[in-house]
Amino acid sequence: AFDVSKLLAKTGLTTFDPGFNSTAACASAITYIDGDAGILRYRGIPIEQLAERSSFLEVSYLLIYGELPTQAQLDTFTSNISRHTLLHEDLKNFFDGFPRDAHPMPVLSSAVSALSTFYQDSLDPFDDDAVELSTVRLMAKVFTIAAYAYKKSVGQPFLYPDNSLGLVENFLRLTFGFPAEPYEIDPVMAKAVDTLLILHADHEQNCSTSTVRLVGSSQANLFASISAGVNALFGPLHGGANQAVLEMLSRIKDVEDGNVDAFVDRVKNKEQGAKLMGFGHRVYKNYDPRAKIVKQNADEVLKALGVSDPLLDIAMKLEEKALADEYFIERKLYPNVDFYTGVIYRAMGFPTRMFTVLFALGRLPGWIAHWREMISDPQTKIGRPRQLYTGPTERNYVDMSDR
């Protein structure tokens, strides 16, 4: 209801770009995406190769430091992280302050934010040693925090980390294990989680990463910036989509008698804003390369875990139906990474509300890499967009008695 070009001329501005469709806010050497060709590369290496041959910690090193590590570098990185998995006992008390049914995402962001109070040596963003230590602390402790957020939500006791285990194995034990009982790690599950973490590890200037950079551009420390990123990821149009997908599939199965056609029609008619969650992407206008890998994994992992899930059949039917439909073809809407992840997490026993937390664990090294790149880039300035003002022109204050 306002004329953009007039407002632009009036303010002397040249661009109006809500949602930043065509505005680059930074230069970055971390991740390359070609949305039309369906290409994703971390530091130049195709996601398909990394998913098949690498490990989450190796990918984290690659994203954060720019190169694949030598064995010695990877060993040092891994052992530094294992040494920091414990949470301060006082931080553990934090969890008792939340209601039992709290969503684990705000619990995670609050606890990450609280790390700044426990590690006040982290406050100077230009102290390289402190940044290094904060990096390692985050890579270790966020996994423990995530597991405790889960334990809290199911009313089970916390376990101490076992640092003889790998990061993912430790996380699975902290999540599903019990203090006095041995926990047997299922290698299929550990490998599947590791692969999903790799697929989520970075995605250039998505909403949460841009948030991390924007908050960090004020020279806020790593913990504060990443806590903001966790909050940005919480929304259903971003990381919260994996939870929303599973809720959608469950509703189709339980409430709508598995009627995929009727659901797709409702989406096409935009009934009450209905969307096919897990479909569409700002950048990918071709199949999301991560979704391809997740789809293959979903089938394999479910078979290996001996789980058969009618929700996977519904997801496949939905995809088939949508990909053949003019509405989705015209708009270039394809499954994104989140369309099939929920089915895998569910088969592993994670409750729906933990799905976005798992996404956050994967995205962690990407956020750290971007914050570090931003803080060491001499071109970085405080992020401060402009606006087109559409409110009233100058008017006088009116006394209460005259209103």
Residues of the shown chain interacting with ligand ACO in the complex, contacts defined by CB under 6 A: 19, 237-239, 241, 267, 275-282, 331, 333, 336-338
- Residue 140 Cβ, how far from ligand ACO at the closest point, in Å? 24
Q: Are 337 and 199 in contact (CB under 8 A)?
A: yes
Torsional sign, CA 344, 345, 348, 351: negative
Tell me which residue has its CB nearest to ligand ACO. 280
- Residue 397 Cβ, how far from ligand ACO at the closest point, in Å? 40
Cα torsion through 29, 41, 200, 263, rounded to 10: 120
- Residue 288 Cβ, how far from ligand ACO at the closest point, in Å? 8
Distance CA 360, CA 221 (A): 18
| Alpha-carbon separation of residue 71 from 50, 148, 216, 369 (angstroms) | 16, 31, 32, 21
DSSP states of 202-228:
--TT-HHHHHHHHHHTTT--HHHHHHH
- What three-state secondary structure class fits 45? strand
Can 281 be counted among the known catalytic residues? yes
- Residue 90 Cβ, how far from ligand ACO at the closest point, in Å? 34
Distance CA 380, CA 375 (A): 7
Q: Please, which residue, 35 or 351, has the CB nearer to ligand ACO?
A: 35
Tokens describing residue 254: 């339980």
- Residue 192 Cβ, how far from ligand ACO at the closest point, in Å? 18
Q: Please, which residue, 88 or 275, has the CB nearer to ligand ACO?
A: 275
Residues 6+ apart with CB under 8 A from 247: 277, 352
- Residue 365 Cβ, how far from ligand ACO at the closest point, in Å? 16
- Residue 385 Cβ, how far from ligand ACO at the closest point, in Å? 17
Distance CA 382, CA 215 (A): 9
How are strands ordered across the β-sheet holding 39-42?
A: 31-34, 39-42, 45-46
Q: Please, which residue, 104 or 335, has the CB nearer to ligand ACO?
A: 335
Q: How many CB atoms lie within 10 A of CB 299?
A: 14
Residues 6+ apart with CB under 8 A from 162: 170, 173
Burial group, residue 343, by CB count within 10 angstroms (0-12, 13-18, 19+): buried
Can 203 be counted among the known catalytic residues? no
Q: Please, which residue, 265 or 377, has the CB nearer to ligand ACO?
A: 265
The 10 Å CB-count burial string (b at 16+, else e) for 125-158 is beeeebbebbbbbbbbbbbbbbbbbbbbbeeeee
Active-site residue identified among 238, 281, 288, 370: 281
Distance CA 335, CA 289 (A): 10
Q: Please, which residue, 41 or 92, has the CB nearer to ligand ACO?
A: 41
Q: Please, which residue, 10 or 331, has the CB nearer to ligand ACO?
A: 331
Q: Please, which residue, 265 or 309, has the CB nearer to ligand ACO?
A: 265
Q: Please, which residue, 13 or 329, has the CB nearer to ligand ACO?
A: 329
Distance CA 229, CA 232 (A): 5
Active-site residue identified among 338, 370, 377, 399: 338
- Residue 263 Cβ, how far from ligand ACO at the closest point, in Å? 11
Active site (catalytic) residues: 281, 338
